[in-house]
Chain A
């Protein structure tokens, strides 16, 4: 049953080896010459100002949380989408579709709520 995954395992090995070998080989062959200020982070030629470990805008957290919400929704929808045709064939298509409508409707209401609250507003 897991036989189709064998080539994927093989491919994981090949790609991971490709990445690791490339990084190591260029590290070895590239040579290193220490020069003052070579290790500074790039800020258009100016001396770096302050730390780069900044606090992040709250918007990005909001996007991440919303993503999880709707991603979980789409996971549930995958199950329905695959079986939609067989539901119809079994004669319960309309019933199941009504249930999906309720489910999606609830999440659409959530989207509208976030929208009205200004959670999707970026230029504030």
Chain B
């Protein structure tokens, strides 16, 4: 489903390569644990997967669609349809309610809205994902910024899952959480991604979690492979 053909990426034109990767594939529904030291280019790789960044050489395609073949506007629409994202923190619009935050992707993607229709509409789908992420119902109508960081991450996960996008990108989703909460959160996220049939690429420092993913990518190792290729 994700197909990375050997690629080079540099932040500046003519600058040194930040990423140098060999061929990489991710299947539908597969979960990928992406790790490596800080600054090795993990977020850059996520940017490439999301079609926000373009490689200098090589190709990144999602669902058989080469990102580079799309115009900027088409990339935005394609991403809105097929990719759910969540970050370390500041995922939510503070002034919207939890439910409104979760239904946001349906406002911008017709495809995901239609998929939610099968579950009874965006609102119902949102409630069901929030339930699956273990967020107490009492919080659903509260303003997003009244929630704890841990609760906010669950909301962000529920939002990424809305309309079951084929790919979910999570950039250190647990690093703002207490160690005690990480395990539980990751359990819920992995299970929910499987339920949704979405592939999950998760950047994390927490190597204890690695074994629970289908695939582990160590970026430094991938880089070396890229150099050899």
Q: Do chains A and B interact in one complex?
A: no
Q: Which residues from chain A sit less than 8 Å from chain B, CB to CB?
A: none
